[in-house]
Structure 1
Amino acid sequence: MSGLPVVFFDTPLPDAYRDLVEGRLEVVGPDSGLERAIAVIAGARVRWDAAMLAGGPSVRVVSRTGIGYDNIDLDAARERGVTVCNAPEAPSVSTAEHTVALMMAATKRLRTTTAIADRGEKAPSVGIALELDGCRLGLVGLGRIARRVAAVGHALGMEVIAHDPFIDAADSDGVRLVDLDEVFSTADVVSLHAPGGEATRHLVDAARLATMRPGAVLVNCARGSLVDQDALLGALESGQLGGAALDVTEPEPLPAGHPLLGREDVVVTPHVASSTAAGRRRLYEHAIDNALAVLEGRPATIVS
Structure 2
Amino acid sequence: MKILIVGHFSESAQSKITGHFPQDWNVVIVPPGEEMLQHIADCQVLIPEHIQVDHSLLANAKQLKLVQTGAGYDNVDISACTQLGIWVANASGVNAQAVAEHVMALILSYYKNIPFLDRFMKNRLDENQLEYTGSELEDKTIGIIGLGAIGKKVAAFCSALGMNVQAYARNTAVSSDGVVRMTDFDTLISTSDIISVHVSLNEQTKQLINKAVLANMKNSALFINTARGGIVNQPDLIEALKNGELSGACLDVYESEPLPLDSELRNLSNVILTPHTAGMPDARKFHRKRYDFFIDNIKRVANGEVPESKLNQLL
> Take 2:258 and 2:28, find their aligned partners in 1: how far apart are those partners?
26
> Counterpart of 2:267?
262
Q: Do structure 1's residue 243 and structure 2's residue 248 form an aligned pair?
A: yes
Say whether the 8 Å CA contact 1:28–1:34 is kept in structure 2.
no
> Take 1:299 and 1:78, find their aligned partners in 2: how far apart are those partners?
13
Gaps of 5+ in 2: none
> Take 1:124 and 1:212, find their aligned partners in 2: how far apart are those partners?
33
> Take 1:219 and 1:79, find their aligned partners in 2: how far apart are those partners?
37
> Counterpart of 2:23?
23
> Counterpart of 1:303?
311
> Take 1:137 and 1:178, find their aligned partners in 2: how far apart are those partners?
12
- Give the letter for the 2:71 counterpart: I
> Take 2:197 and 2:186, find their aligned partners in 1: how far apart are those partners?
14
> Counterpart of 1:273?
278
**Higher deviation after alignment, 11-20 or 148-157:** 11-20
> Take 1:194 and 1:85, find their aligned partners in 2: how far apart are those partners?
17
> Counterpart of 1:115?
119
Q: Do structure 1's residue 68 and structure 2's residue 75 form an aligned pair?
A: no
CA shift digits 1:119-148 (9 cap, x unpaired) = 314376665122110100100000001111
Distance 1:80 1:169, change over 3 A: closer
- State the structure with bigger RCO (CA 8 A, min sep 6), 1 or 2: 1
> Counterpart of 1:207?
212
Cα drift, residue 169 of structure 1: 5.7
Cα drift, residue 22 of structure 1: 2.6
Cα drift, residue 118 of structure 1: 3.2
> Take 2:128 and 2:199, find their aligned partners in 1: how far apart are those partners?
37
Distance 1:171 1:127, change over 3 A: same
Say whether the 8 Å CA contact 2:175–2:182 is kept in structure 1.
no
> Counterpart of 2:293?
286
Distance 1:124 1:293, change over 3 A: farther
CA shift digits 1:60-115 (9 cap, x unpaired) = 11011x11111000111111111001111321111111111112222223333333
Say whether the 8 Å CA contact 1:112–1:265 is kept in structure 2.
no
Distance 1:170 1:193, change over 3 A: closer
The percentage of counterpart residues that share the same residue type is: 31
Say whether the 8 Å CA contact 1:6–1:36 is kept in structure 2.
yes
Distance 1:267 1:29, change over 3 A: same
3-state SS in 1 of match to 2:204:
helix
Aligned length: 298
Equivalent residues in 2 for 1:1-304 (5 A)? 5-11=1-7, 14-30=14-30, 31=35, 32-43=38-49, 45-64=50-69, 66-119=70-123, 120-122=125-127, 127-168=132-173, 170=175, 172=177, 174-277=179-282, 280-301=287-308, 302-304=310-312
> Take 1:140 and 1:124, find their aligned partners in 2: how far apart are those partners?
40
3-state SS in 2 of match to 1:196:
coil
**Higher deviation after alignment, 163-172 or 74-83:** 163-172
TM-score, L = length of structure 2: 0.89
> Take 1:207 and 1:121, find their aligned partners in 2: how far apart are those partners?
43
3-state SS in 2 of match to 1:138:
strand
In angstroms, what is the RMSD of aligned CA positions?
Answer: 1.9
Say whether the 8 Å CA contact 1:41–1:288 is kept in structure 2.
no
- Give the letter for the 1:15 counterpart: S
Gaps of 5+ in 1: none
> Take 1:80 and 1:63, find their aligned partners in 2: how far apart are those partners?
15
Say whether the 8 Å CA contact 2:96–2:150 is kept in structure 1.
yes
